[in-house]
Structure 1
Amino acid sequence: MTRQYFGTDGIRGEVGKFPIVPDFVMRLGYAAGQVLAKNAPTHGKPTVLIGKDTRVSGYLLEAALEAGFSAAGVDVMLCGPMPTPAIAYLTRALRLSAGVVISASHNPYHDNGIKFFSANGDKLDDAIELQIEAALNEPMNCVDSAHLGKAKRLDDAAGRYIEFCKSTFPNHLNLHGLKLVLDCAHGAAYHIAPHVFHELGAEVISIGVQPNGKNINDGVGATAPQALIEKVKEEKADLGIALDGDADRLQLVDASGRVFNGDELLYLIAKSRKDAGEKVDGVVGTLMTNMAVEKAIEAEGILFTRAKVGDRYVLEQLKEKNWLLGGEGSGHLICLDKHTTGDGIVAALQVLTAMKQGNQTLAQLLQKVTLFPQTLINVRYKQGYQWQSDANMKEAIANAEQHLAGSGRVLIRASGTEPLLRVMVEASDAQMAKDHAQKIASVIPT
């Protein structure tokens, strides 16, 4: 069955346009509440935790969700602005039925979304999402007054999560002597992340910690690292840490202003664990993971495989193979022995662990990895075009792959929402990547 509303990471869109409107979100809460009630144990009401990032629309959508859950007879706990991975942790720690996050992650403030976590702190199973979608197509009703859900505040949510994050850093290490610049993107971690790194001993200089409802991800955070680069240089800091609006992705900047992306950090975490004598069976990247990282991981004797783009698919592969480490270049990094989902703060602490244990800088730890240049060209194609069966396209791809011969690769991805092909060529030589990408793009009818 095809999903009508859920994407790879919940339901997302522009606020005020369907489906991110109060009426639909209330019905979503009711539908999800019905499914939870049906699948819940016989004793007690289901209870759901609702968190959000700092978008002004969070107030509106939080109230709509709360009303929908209450109408379905589900109790609600509200914790206000909290990182997405915090909701996953708290849902599991408090033995709740589900967690809900109101966030559009790295998108601008006028977008928002709803994503769910299971009782175990995982992304919802496909089967549950399909049950919710089926319930959305039924009329919304309301349980009788005696069975309505209640709502209450979880006042100590921030403190609980701060302690959890700190617990993922080795007890015998500390961050004394490190000067960090921390960019919270005016997002959900603004009142969380500075405490974590400060309490572990670092000197912390924070930017992106003054949310006003409209400035989330605006020129700050993991998707806009220039502000962090400038602040790191200005403060002569050892390291800069950039989170996105809901704090589930990470980018790092060293003292020279060099940005390190998720691909490089994934390799670093895997290698440092292997060097420390830990068992690292394999690592899951995505179709977009840089080939240089794949080769470097395999050179360490560690297996590597690629999942479809999206942390949901990385997580699926990790569970299937019973591995612990995976991630994306965007900075979604998953360490399943530390958390059930990608967590920017926890991932940063794993990198800092590697730096402390090896007594090395980021550049020193990554000196064996030089990322392959990538050329990405987006081509809007003529209606009805079937690129998989186009002889000219097949010939152009085959020609490129023959010339690259193990020193690069070709990836063609079609947009799921518009007639757009994404042509990506990666090679050890930048000009070669550019030339082959342009040749492939040129055969696509526009």
Structure 2
Amino acid sequence: MSDAAGKKRCLFGTDGVRDIANRGAMTPEMALRLGRAYVLFLTERGFPRPKIVVGRDTRRSGAMLEAALIAGMTSAGADVVCVGVTPTPGVSFGVELLRAQGGAVISASHNPAEYNGIKFLDNSGSKLSDDSELAIEEYLGDNLIDDWRPSGGSIGKVEHRESDFNSSYVERVRVSLGEEGLGSLKVVFDCANGAASTVLPDVLSSLTDGGNFEIIGASPDGLNINEKSGVMSMKGLSERVVQAGYDIGIAYDGDADRVLLVDGKGRPLDGDIILWVLGRWLKGKGSLGAGIVTTVMSNMALDKHMAESGIKTFRCPVGDRYVLQSMKDNGSSLGGEQSGHVIAFPYTKTGDGICTGFLFIRACIEIKEDIQTLVDRFGRFPQKLTNIAVNSKTDIMKDDNILAAVDEASRILGDSGRIFLRPSGTEPIVRLLVECEDLELVESLSRSIEEKITSLVVN
């Protein structure tokens, strides 16, 4: 990935630094150096002796990387507040609550348990920009990172808030959402054996009065995060909803910044449908702003429905940081991704799966939305997303034959559809999206380009 100045980012992807824990870019040694580099970044931008909030998800490797990251930060002169296992939006809230100058989350989000990652937040609790992450990468190659050695009272302190922090985050969620809960809806929640399991029971007890709900995927053991549960495996949630007669199912990812839903028939309700509902709800309240923001991956049916409701749609690159920036640039109060990252001002300042799920329920109740017919009425355009494993994402994205094939497919689709090829920011794959109202054309174009990419990988 490159920034506006053309400098290449090698370490950071679309959601921080991520790799198999204790290997590659996610060793304790790298975590320590990242912690030092982040502190130097903050210090040279006007935050001497910064305070940094650090949280993590439920992975076994989290404590190992947390210790190394905190050692790096304190050795560079930062004070650290350790909040333990908490959702990513909890760390974002902690930056604001504790008036910190930054935050760090140790999580690999939706990836399997053997992975882990580190993502940094700014002093507002938002994810860092591309330029800021590039600057941190540059510190890693600077001698200053090794020469900067505070001593005595200049070494940073560590404050542990693991025992009480989550109760503060739960209260923040309650205040953001008001007293509304589940209404008469019957709901099952899937915590993906991740960070949501540490806070959701208390959120529910604070928002509902004996509501009809069930929680699954809430027994983390350090190795089962995202395993056959959560947003990455919706089958179990769908089956439970249908089997037990629930009205809706709500699933989170490992760090609870994403949410996806299923209706009473077990059918997925993705981020596009969530935005469709929340957009109309917020417009009716007069608090939507200029429109909604979504990424290039969202289905074209969303644009159609928003236009029918008199709501403008703004498109941006994939990544919730880009969604947030576009919201600010365009004066929008709602933005999100098809994958379930949703930001809704003033309720949330970052992707918050827990808040978003409850906002969706409130919106459906207030605008009298029929949850069970949303899938039928949305009528998404046929869309095929293919993840293709590659040896070099850069080589694929620069190959003349691949680029020519994509251009030709785009010419064939014209205004009736679109094609999009991009490298994953977190995995060794490229993602191919083909979309139009003609399903046979979607399949043929997708298959043709996938075969060209695969032949390059094999050769």
Per the normalisation by structure 2, the TM-score is: 0.89
Looking at structure 2, the residues matched to 189 and 70 of structure 1 have their Cα atoms a distance apart, in angstroms, of 28
- Structure 1 residues 198 and 26: alpha-carbon distance in aligned structure 2, compared to 1, 3 A threshold: same
User: Which of 36, 48, 55 is matched with 2:52 structurally?
Assistant: 48
- Structure 1 residues 326 and 145: alpha-carbon distance in aligned structure 2, compared to 1, 3 A threshold: same
Deviation at 1:66, TM superposition (A): 1.1
In structure 2, the residue matched to 1:385 is 399
Looking at structure 1, the residues matched to 74 and 24 of structure 2 have their Cα atoms a distance apart, in angstroms, of 22
8 Å contact kept, 1:280–1:302: no
Where do 5+ consecutive residues of structure 1 fail to align? none
SS of residue in 1 equivalent to 2:90: helix
Q: Which amino acid aligns with 2:155?
A: L
In structure 2, the residue matched to 1:160 is 168
SS of residue in 2 equivalent to 1:190: helix
- Structure 1 residues 47 and 362: alpha-carbon distance in aligned structure 2, compared to 1, 3 A threshold: same
In structure 1, the residue matched to 2:437 is 428
1:358-397 equivalences in 2 (<5 Å)? 358-364=367-373, 368-377=377-386, 385-387=399-401, 390=404, 394-397=407-410
Matched, 1:6 2:15: no
In structure 1, the residue matched to 2:310 is 301
Deviation at 1:442, TM superposition (A): 5.7
SS of residue in 1 equivalent to 2:348: coil
Q: Which amino acid aligns with 2:56?
A: K
Looking at structure 1, the residues matched to 429 and 90 of structure 2 have their Cα atoms a distance apart, in angstroms, of 35
8 Å contact kept, 1:168–1:349: no
In structure 2, the residue matched to 1:119 is 123
Looking at structure 2, the residues matched to 432 and 241 of structure 1 have their Cα atoms a distance apart, in angstroms, of 33
In structure 1, the residue matched to 2:4 is none
- CA offsets, 1:47-93, max 9 Å, x none? 11110000000110010011111111111111110000110111112
Deviation at 1:243, TM superposition (A): 0.4
Q: Which amino acid aligns with 1:12?
A: R
Looking at structure 1, the residues matched to 406 and 124 of structure 2 have their Cα atoms a distance apart, in angstroms, of 45
Deviation at 1:349, TM superposition (A): 1.5
Q: Percent identity?
A: 37
Matched, 1:324 2:322: no
Deviation at 1:336, TM superposition (A): 2.8
Looking at structure 2, the residues matched to 411 and 36 of structure 1 have their Cα atoms a distance apart, in angstroms, of 36
Deviation at 1:324, TM superposition (A): 1.4
Moved more, 431-440 or 232-241: 431-440
Matched, 1:265 2:274: yes
Looking at structure 2, the residues matched to 197 and 344 of structure 1 have their Cα atoms a distance apart, in angstroms, of 14
Structure with the largest fraction of helix: 2
1:101-180 equivalences in 2 (<5 Å)? 101-137=105-141, 138=143, 139-141=145-147, 142-154=149-161, 155-171=163-179, 173-180=180-187
In structure 2, the residue matched to 1:244 is 253
Looking at structure 1, the residues matched to 223 and 387 of structure 2 have their Cα atoms a distance apart, in angstroms, of 30
- CA offsets, 1:137-171, max 9 Å, x none? 22524211221111111132111111111222244
Moved more, 276-285 or 302-311: 276-285
- CA offsets, 1:285-324, max 9 Å, x none? 1111001111111211111121111112111211111211
Looking at structure 1, the residues matched to 280 and 299 of structure 2 have their Cα atoms a distance apart, in angstroms, of 16
Deviation at 1:367, TM superposition (A): 5.3
In structure 2, the residue matched to 1:398 is 411
Aligned CA-pair RMSD = 2.4
Deviation at 1:369, TM superposition (A): 1.3
- Structure 1 residues 244 and 41: alpha-carbon distance in aligned structure 2, compared to 1, 3 A threshold: closer
Q: Which amino acid aligns with 1:84?
A: T
Q: Which amino acid aligns with 1:316?
A: Q
